[in-house]
Amino acid sequence: MYEPVSHALLNRILDQVKPELKKKQLRFFHTRLGANFYAIHSLFKRLYGHREDLEAQMVRLVEVLAQNYIARPKPLKKLDKEREQDHQWFLHQRWVGMALYANAFAGRLPDLQERLPYLQELGVNLVHIMPILQCPPGASDGGYAVSDFRDVDERAGTLDELRALGEAMHAQDVLLTLDVVVNHTSDQHEWAQKAKAGEAKYQDYYYTFEDREIPDQYERTMPEVFPEQAPGNFTYDEAMERWVMTVFNTYQWDLNYRNPAVFIEMLDILLFWANQGADILRLDAVAFLWKKIGTQSQNEREAHVILQLFKDCCQVTAPGVLFIAEAIVAPSEIIKYFGEDAVVAKECEIAYNATTMALMWDAVATKNAQLLREGIRSLPDKLEGATWLNYVRCHDDIGLGFDDGDIVKAGYDPASHRRFLVDWFTGGYSMSPARGRRFGENAATGDARIAGSLASLAGLESALERGDPSEIQLCIDLILMLHGIILAFGGIPLLYYGDELGTLNDYSYEGDIHRSDDSRWIHRPVIDWERAERRNERGTPEQRIYQGLRHMIEVRKETPAFADFNNRELLDPESTHLFAFLRSHPQQPSERVLVVANFNDAPETMNLDELGGRGHFGTGQLVDSVSGSSLKVEEGVLTVPPFGIYWVEAH
């Protein structure tokens, strides 16, 4: 877009940037900067327009973009161009991800590189390595308290090893996802250390206050994220003799994006990791980026402006790189992290589908898909060119953040229903097979969340203890069914390491002083590679889960209707135990798949005629593409086995 004020400013900025930047061959950089500059300028002005040094800050911003463009390795620039040509590449059904801790999964980064064949055997071609940047020894919130944003933690390896891993992955067509913790730093980070030493410049990198007056104003409306281990949102720092905002743990200092220097530093860091070979950057805790007195300081308009600005800037320097929004917030808010408009206000191409995840666990507890259906029905369509990250479990707790209105529509009272769910998964009911732990319990509000590994929450731990083969089989079926939903739902399925082997809870965290107050460690296991070998031993739970998943992943990749173009139609079978939807490829309408999952531990029937289901398929023979078997449909009625899932296609 041509806009005279921005255009004149761009010319002035290009005159002012450092002379060495002007000498370089920057053709592609300049076209991209020109195309995005109006947006960048408008957004930057929206955040920092009141400042006298606005233009100087913009010069610095453009220098950061140019320096990182110059530093960007040639093969990555080539990828950028390829992805610009095929900008919907990540919506394809071929991508299947896994999130893992390098150390707990494999050891050091070179060990992880050696384990790539295991992931490829399963069909995983997108690996999210959980935080590996430098962080202090002892408690570091699983790596989310970063003390140096430009180096790999020595316990994980070196920057060279990470680059080598990235190159090995690229050579095998595997995408690399890295975490960038944009909301806060460790209190050991150089900026925090300088702030503690009294440097005003760095105190302004954080929200620091000399007394409780302003913190108290914030506290009136800000909820607590970790009410048990880190109550309140501020911590008094003795060395600095000031209060500092610490929304998460006391050692995680919130960055102050009201200061443009913070924005520019973090942009530089994002581009640095893009240049180390990351295809996708996971932006942590993005809902929290902007704090405002009198609000919850989550999902603020300015947080979106920051993300749009990050995106537009990244588009100039590293356009092939995607962002994942980690915003575990209400469904109506999550959707906004894709942006408001695919062209003028886009933010993150990918977002965690926390709503569907939590709703699936609701259906597991109740054996009823009613609330799951209501919740999915209320989920607005995404923007074009945006996609979900669909998951069953991850390294965090399960928060029950779905919508109260949907809970009411499903026939429950919101507060008591949430209480029931937490109790169900954490030992409150003797008939529940789930073995979870409570997390983030807030005595004042009554809120609580759930921790636990997928297999233990699904009942496998207790079934194995009881040794009842049919019970064990039901749990395995449930685990496969939940994955069958995320593989077919639309978006990138993200498996969580260990779940492919049915890994149970790991209780060893209870004896570790740095972990015992955080029950999420119960589901962050160290992989036992001897056990992993059992994936090849016929009949073991490991084999049944791993091979079942491997097969479903293979079928997903061959099913064009599973690509994500908002091409999902939710169905309403009469049995409330069933969750069913239809997927059809917009360009290949004959490619249709009916997905039907049974949350009950007894068989359930679905009348295809009533749903117009038969109509979708004509008179051809119906086949379940998961098992490859023909389906028996009697008088229009299909029977789905306990915890079964069918991907129905006509042949």
The residues carrying an active-site annotation are 284, 326
Give all strands (DSSP E) within 162-265, no chain letters.
175-180, 184-186, 208-209, 234-237, 242-245, 252-254
Q: Which two tokens stand for residue 541?
A: 């739970």
Q: Pairing mode, if any, of strands 97-100 and 492-496?
A: parallel
- Please, what is the minimum distance in Å from the beta carbon of residue 570 to ligand GLC? 29
Q: Which is nearer to ligand GLC, 144 or 388 (CB)?
A: 144
- Please, what is the minimum distance in Å from the beta carbon of residue 278 to ligand GLC? 17
- Please, what is the minimum distance in Å from the beta carbon of residue 282 to ligand GLC? 9
Q: Which residue is at the shortest CB distance from ligand GLC? A: 144
d(CA 267, CA 47): 15
**Largest CA-CA distance found in the chain, in angstroms, rounded:** 79
Contact flag: residue 144 with ligand GLC (CB under 6 A): yes
- Please, what is the minimum distance in Å from the beta carbon of residue 297 to ligand GLC? 14
Contact flag: residue 153 with ligand GLC (CB under 6 A): no
d(CA 489, CA 96): 12
Q: Which is nearer to ligand GLC, 186 or 387 (CB)?
A: 186
- Please, what is the minimum distance in Å from the beta carbon of residue 325 to ligand GLC? 11
* Residue 343 identity (one-letter amino acid): V
Q: Which is nearer to ligand GLC, 181 or 365 (CB)?
A: 181
Name which of residues 32 to 51 contact ligand GLC (CB under 6 A): none
Q: Which is nearer to ligand GLC, 286 or 480 (CB)?
A: 286
d(CA 530, CA 381): 44
Q: Which is nearer to ligand GLC, 349 or 396 (CB)?
A: 396
Stretch that binds ligand GLC, among 2-10, 139-147, 522-530, 583-591 (CB under 6 A): 139-147
Stretch that binds ligand GLC, among 39-47, 136-144, 261-269, 598-606 (CB under 6 A): 136-144
CB 562 within 8 A of CB 594: no
Measure the CA angle with vertex 234, ends 228 and 236; round to 5°.
110
Contact flag: residue 248 with ligand GLC (CB under 6 A): yes
Q: Which residue, 406, 423, 422, is CA-closest to 414?
A: 406
Name which of residues 176 to 205 contact ligand GLC (CB under 6 A): 181
Stretch that binds ligand GLC, among 137-145, 214-222, 232-240, 531-539 (CB under 6 A): 137-145
- Please, what is the minimum distance in Å from the beta carbon of residue 451 to ligand GLC? 11
Q: Which is nearer to ligand GLC, 285 or 398 (CB)?
A: 285
Q: Which two tokens stand for residue 345?
A: 């206000």
CB 390 within 8 A of CB 494: yes
- Please, what is the minimum distance in Å from the beta carbon of residue 111 to ligand GLC? 23
Contact flag: residue 251 with ligand GLC (CB under 6 A): no
Contact flag: residue 406 with ligand GLC (CB under 6 A): no
- Please, what is the minimum distance in Å from the beta carbon of residue 359 to ligand GLC? 19
Among 76, 112, 141, 613, binds ligand GLC (CB under 6 A): 141
The DSSP secondary structure of 340-361, one letter per residue, reads EETTTEE--SEEE-HHHHHHHH
Q: Which is nearer to ligand GLC, 286 or 597 (CB)?
A: 286
Contact flag: residue 399 with ligand GLC (CB under 6 A): no
Name which of residues 56 to 95 contact ligand GLC (CB under 6 A): none
Q: What is the 3-state secondary structure (H, E, C) of 266-281?
A: HHHHHHHHHHCCCCEE
Q: Rounded to whole angstroms, what are the CA distances from 547 to 114, 122, 485, 558, 618?
A: 21, 8, 17, 17, 32
Q: Which is nearer to ligand GLC, 284 or 374 (CB)?
A: 284
CB 604 within 8 A of CB 598: yes
CB 126 within 8 A of CB 497: no
Number of residues that bind ligand GLC (CB under 6 A): 10
Contact flag: residue 396 with ligand GLC (CB under 6 A): yes
Name which of residues 268 to 287 contact ligand GLC (CB under 6 A): 284-285
Give me the helices (H) in 503-612, please.
529-533, 541-557
The DSSP secondary structure of 162-190, one letter per residue, reads HHHHHHHHHHTT-EEEEEE--SEEETTSH
- Please, what is the minimum distance in Å from the beta carbon of residue 289 to ligand GLC? 12
Contact flag: residue 326 with ligand GLC (CB under 6 A): yes
Q: Which residue, 432, 414, 410, is CA-closest to 423?
A: 432
Name which of residues 552 to 581 contact ligand GLC (CB under 6 A): none
d(CA 556, CA 318): 30
Among 97, 123, 142, 490, binds ligand GLC (CB under 6 A): 142
d(CA 593, CA 575): 20
Residues lying near ligand GLC in the complex (CB under 6 A) are found at 141-142, 144, 181, 248, 284-285, 326, 395-396
